[in-house]
Amino acid sequence: MRESLTIFALLCVPLTQVHCQLLPTSGQHDSQLLQLASSAGSFCPWHRNSLDLTPEWVATERSPLELIPGSCVGNVSKEICAYLGPAFADGRGVAFVTSAKRAARLAQSTSLTDPSVHSQIERLNMATNPNWEMQRIPGKGMGVIATSHLSLGDHIMTSTPALVQDNGNLELSDDEATELRARAIEHLPPDLRSSFLELTTHDDVTSLTERIDKIVEVNSFELETVGDVENDEGDMSWLAVFPDISRLNHACRPNAQYYFDPLTMTQNVHAVRDIYPGEEITVSYINGFQPYKRRQQTISDMWHFGCTCDFCARNSHQIKASDERLRQITKLLKDLNDHTRLSKATPQTGELLVSLYRQEKLWYAMYEAYTLAALEYNFVGDAKLATMHASLAFEHGLASVGPHDENVVNMRMLIKDPRRHWSWMHRINKREAI
């Protein structure tokens, strides 16, 4: 006779009321249990995977996510659905396209379960701001223009997404993805749905579904982590559309930069240099210079996307000089990221990198140049200049990548005590060990 087991079964009723109860069962009742789980109904976002979940979060409380009826595709083991978070961000709402298992994990995220997270954010999702206004810009459509002076680090806007699509190992055909996105947008609150549908497509479209597809294609941001859910492979597995942020036009050398906060599920934009009244506020759509260990690849990305010199006014001599600076940056980054005893990098290498970044107007990446220079000074035991460059890296990093970025945290630790930082005398000690 098989030993009796105690397991958890997840029962769902219409809308989002979730209940959990203990059910004593033995092997002979396994089929009844499966029938019970499947009979929970299509209103349960995670009923297909209930046996895979731990009981800590499965409580007798209201779930923050609702399954959009009739929105699931795929077989039982790999079902992908559209889910709605109607109370998210003080009722602004959000829609997800993901698997049942990931929806269950998203439902535990602080940004979905704790309303105070968003109520504490100043000017969240504000359509107007005393520092900027949206205007129609010739040849660009809508854009954002500064109406007052902004300094390095000044907050410009913070926005939550309208649509978040999971791209992590999901087996969806193009038609299925189109259908799920359309169902998700259809169920968004009216104001958010209108803001989404008003975004540019860059091309003429003939149907609503085509418009939604084009908007996602043109306006999406890639994210590695949403809530507390990240791709197991570490790739950028989420696409998110932030209607307000999408009003900011692209520039290869922008005057503002954005970073995503997984905890609050917000995209945050700050000035990375002085911005003057009447100047357009821009960001870079290229996948940034972050973290600094990926620098070589992103320099190549600049050439690939035609970002060699957007301030050269088509002057061939300036373009040639800019290209040469980018090549030199690529070489310097290789040396500076080599922390072995064979590296050719010195503090002067770091200073040259800072100078080249300034000449190229790479304001949104300046924190990295200052970070590498700070490390080089600390590598040779110059605490004063290491701290000075670390302070500049920290100031620029807060604006470009936020307080939780690994480089910003690293510089905060160096500023606190350069002699106790891992980099102290690193080059000297390495070379003495030869």
Among 37, 63, 89, identify where a domain stops: 63
Q: How far apart are CA 270 and CA 151, in angstroms?
A: 9
Q: Are residues 279 and 355 in the same domain?
A: no
Q: Are residues 260 and 152 in the same domain?
A: yes
Q: Are residues 57 and 73 in the same domain?
A: no
Full DSSP string of 58-73:
--SEE-S-EEPTT--B
In the three-class reduction of DSSP (H, G, I as helix; E, B as strand; rest coil), residue 356 is classed as: helix
Q: How far apart are CA 421 and CA 410, in angstroms?
A: 9
Q: Are residues 77 and 151 in the same domain?
A: yes
Question: Which residues span the domain enclosing 277?
Answer: 64-283
Helical residues (DSSP H) of 205-359, grouped into ranges: 208-219, 295-304, 316-336, 347-359
Give the count of domains, the chain.
3
Q: What pLDDT does residue 67 have?
A: 92
Q: What pLDDT does residue 431 have?
A: 56
Check which CATH number belongs to the domain holding 162 and give it: 2.170.270.10
Q: Are residues 277 and 372 in the same domain?
A: no
Q: Are residues 136 and 55 in the same domain?
A: no
Q: Are residues 129 and 247 in the same domain?
A: yes
Q: How far apart are CA 162 and CA 216, in angstroms?
A: 11
Q: Are residues 128 and 76 in the same domain?
A: yes
pTM above 0.85, yes or no: no
Q: Are residues 272 and 357 in the same domain?
A: no
- Placement of tokens 């106790």 in the chain: 420
Among 47, 63, 79, identify where a domain stops: 63
Full DSSP string of 369-429:
HHHHHHHHHHHTT-HHHHHHHHHHHHHHHHHHT-TTSHHHHHHHHHHH-GGGSTTTTHHHH
Cβ contact 402:408 at 8 Å: yes
Q: Tens digit of pLDDT for each residue in 254-281?
A: 999 999 999 899 999 999 999 999 999 9
Torsion 351-353-355-361 (CA) sign: negative
Q: Are residues 109 and 121 in the same domain?
A: yes
**Who contacts 203 (Cβ-Cβ below 8 Å, separation ≥6)?**
214
Q: Are residues 52 and 165 in the same domain?
A: no
Q: How far apart are CA 306 and CA 170, in angstroms?
A: 32
Q: Are residues 229 and 315 in the same domain?
A: no
Among 234, 264, 283, identify where a domain stops: 283
Residue pLDDT tens, the chain, 434 long: 433 333 333 333 333 333 333 333 344 444 443 343 333 333 343 343 333 333 333 333 568 999 998 888 876 667 889 999 999 999 999 999 998 888 888 998 999 999 899 988 988 998 888 999 999 988 888 899 999 999 999 999 999 999 999 886 567 788 888 999 999 999 999 999 999 999 988 888 889 999 999 999 889 998 888 886 665 555 557 899 999 999 999 898 999 999 999 989 999 999 999 999 999 999 988 754 333 333 334 555 555 455 667 777 667 888 889 989 999 999 999 999 998 878 999 999 999 999 999 999 999 999 999 999 999 999 999 999 999 999 999 999 999 999 999 999 999 999 999 999 999 999 886 655 55
